[in-house]
Amino acid sequence: MIRILVAGAFALICATASPTSASAQQCTASGAPDNCGVPSSVSMTAGRVVRLQMTAGSTALTAPTPSDFDAGSNATTGPTLTVSANAAWILHIRSSTAAWTGTTTSPGAPARTNKPATDLKWATAANGTFAALTNSDTNLVSGSATAGAATTLFFQTLYDWTLDTPGNYSLSIVLTLTSP
């Protein structure tokens, strides 16, 4: 089985509140009506706040069939990512390493140790243009302030009859959410 682990990394800048100090004020009333008011105020500073939520922390990629090897790839629907932000934001994607980790499962047929991360492609639409995953940040999606912008990841895994030996393969993906 081939599995992909999605490590959600994101930037979070929290809102801060700063009370203002007021000079002592007082109120004195006598007679009717017997009330008075003292002016007061509060203030706060709201910084950039972003949140990334994922429907799943890992995705089991579809196991390849002979037809997939003949076609050179197969497809898997990945997690849905939801961004909430009070300002403009960018969600980046990258692999944590340049190659997959392979574990041998068949004696005499060692797992491929140099399967490149670029053998996993990603897109934001099932019939979209797929981009090879690299270990450099790439813009996945961006937007303006939102209570919840959802994007589903779609994966396409490349296979080669002569290179992709039996084994368990994994690749960590890093998602980084920033608010520039």
- Domains: count for the chain: 1
Residue 157 lies in a domain: yes
pLDDT digits (tens, 9 = 90+) for 147-174: 999 999 999 999 999 999 999 999 999 9
Structural domain for 62, as ranges: 2-13+52-178
Residue 84 lies in a domain: yes
pLDDT digits (tens, 9 = 90+) for 94-128: 999 999 999 999 999 999 999 999 999 999 999 99
Residue 138 lies in a domain: yes
Residue 109 lies in a domain: yes
Residue 45 lies in a domain: no
Residue 77 lies in a domain: yes
- The structure's pTM equals 0.79
Residue 23 lies in a domain: no
Count other C-beta atoms under 10 Å from residue 5's C-beta.
13
Residue 168 lies in a domain: yes
By the 10 Å C-beta count (0-12 exposed, 13-18 middle, 19+ buried), 36 is classed as exposed
